[in-house]
Amino acid sequence: MRRALELAATPGVPHGPNPRVGCVLLAPDGSEIAEGFHRGAGTPHAEAAALAEAGAAARGATAVVTLEPCNHTGRTGPCARALVEAGVARVVFAQPDPNPEAAGGAQTLRDAGIAVELGLLEHESRRLNRAWTFAMERGRPFVTWKFAATLDGRSAAADGSSRWITDEPARRDVHRLRSACDAILVGTGTVLRDDPALTVRDEVGAPADRQPLRVVMGERDLPQDAKVFDDAAETVHLRTRDVAAVLAELHARGCQHLFLEGGPTVASAFVGAGLVDEVVGYLAPKLLGSGRNAVADLGIESITDALDLVVEDVTVLGSDVRITGRLRGKD
């Protein structure tokens, strides 16, 4: 199963819209027959790729798969049926398929007399497809809130300047995180104040091949010559302040992972609504003493009511520190 997970995480495989899946076929003596992984929407699923490599040797084999074999016909046929027809004797998978359109493969296998075991390294499989799994189970995108601030929590100086709070290593890291998301969101205030491009750029500043959807939230009109309306990426302006409505619209558009980069007002709206699933904070070793806060008033007056962050990672990037975590109480 660990090898199947490695295959699923092969560099260059898209993070969506389909899950990343790996498959290893084993002979009755435990030796490997074949392996495969899903390379993206429209390509053969992991099981199909492994079966094609194995040929007749798949009969009597054990299929070890990171995700329950699918049970529906889309751009490709159902993997559960393919395993049955190949004569596989046993299937071990890590994670049940949360997609109601594709689930049920385990029962199809059992009905055909194939031994089925599930749950092996399920946590690792869910982590591999974290945003996809979350969106399937919750019916909304996974939300990562990213901000950059000084040590005293300021995202901009008193004169409004906020460019380059962090140094280049941290800024490159932000582009890495952006590239793994389906959409980047800011409020109208950020567009009017900073005129950001909201694109993914590589280390030398060139646009990446794949650009997330640019999302602007808010009711104010925006100048049509703003950078977010150029042809570098698709942009949608959602004229609402309703956070839940924004997430519902993005989910309907197929967005599974939203990267929240808005200013303090937008951040406060998402945090206050309990709709931030991950926090990535870049802290620069600077002190301002005044200026715009990273997040607006959350209505918290006592330290006992503070929102606690469960820290999952702390990394030094040049002179800055990146802290990644989730709000306590979030799964």
- The catalytically annotated residue of 6, 32, 35, 47 is 47
Asked whether 26 and 117 are in contact (CB, 8 A), the reply is no
Q: Is 194 annotated as a binding residue?
A: yes
Q: Is 198 annotated as a binding residue?
A: yes
Q: Is 314 annotated as a binding residue?
A: no
**Which parts of the chain fold into alpha helices (H)?**
2-8, 46-54, 79-86, 105-111, 122-128, 130-138, 168-179, 188-194, 243-252, 264-272
Characterize the bridge pairing of strands 142-150 and 154-156. Answer: unpaired
Cis preceding linkage at 98, omega within 30: no
Q: Is 311 annotated as a binding residue?
A: no
CA–CA separation, 222 and 230 (whole Å): 13
Q: Is 70 annotated as a binding residue?
A: yes
CA–CA separation, 250 and 228 (whole Å): 17
Q: Is 45 annotated as a binding residue?
A: yes
Asked whether 47 and 84 are in contact (CB, 8 A), the reply is no
Active site residue 47: yes
Q: Which amino acid makes up residue 182?
A: D
DSSP code, position 291: S
Asked whether 96 and 129 are in contact (CB, 8 A), the reply is no
CA–CA separation, 228 and 233 (whole Å): 8
The count of other CB atoms within 10 Å of the CB of residue 325 is 17
Q: Is 161 annotated as a binding residue?
A: no
Q: Is 178 annotated as a binding residue?
A: yes
Q: Is 324 helix (H, G, I), strand (E, B) or coil?
A: strand
Distance in Å from the first CA to the final CA of the chain: 24
Q: Is 267 annotated as a binding residue?
A: yes
Q: Is 55 helix (H, G, I), strand (E, B) or coil?
A: helix
Burial of 12 (C-beta count, 10 Å sphere; 0-12/13-18/19+)? exposed
Q: Is 87 annotated as a binding residue?
A: no
Q: Is 190 annotated as a binding residue?
A: yes
Q: Is 90 annotated as a binding residue?
A: no
Q: Is 160 annotated as a binding residue?
A: no
Q: Is 264 annotated as a binding residue?
A: yes
CA–CA separation, 201 and 211 (whole Å): 9
CA–CA separation, 43 and 10 (whole Å): 15
Q: Is 17 annotated as a binding residue?
A: no
Known binding positions for Zn(2+): 45, 70, 79
Cite the annotated binding site for NADP(+) by residue number: 148, 164, 190, 194, 263-269
Q: List, as residue ranges, the binding site for substrate.
A: 162, 178, 198, 201, 261
Binding residues: 45, 70, 79, 148, 162, 164, 178, 190, 194, 198, 201, 261, 263-269
Catalytically active residues are 47
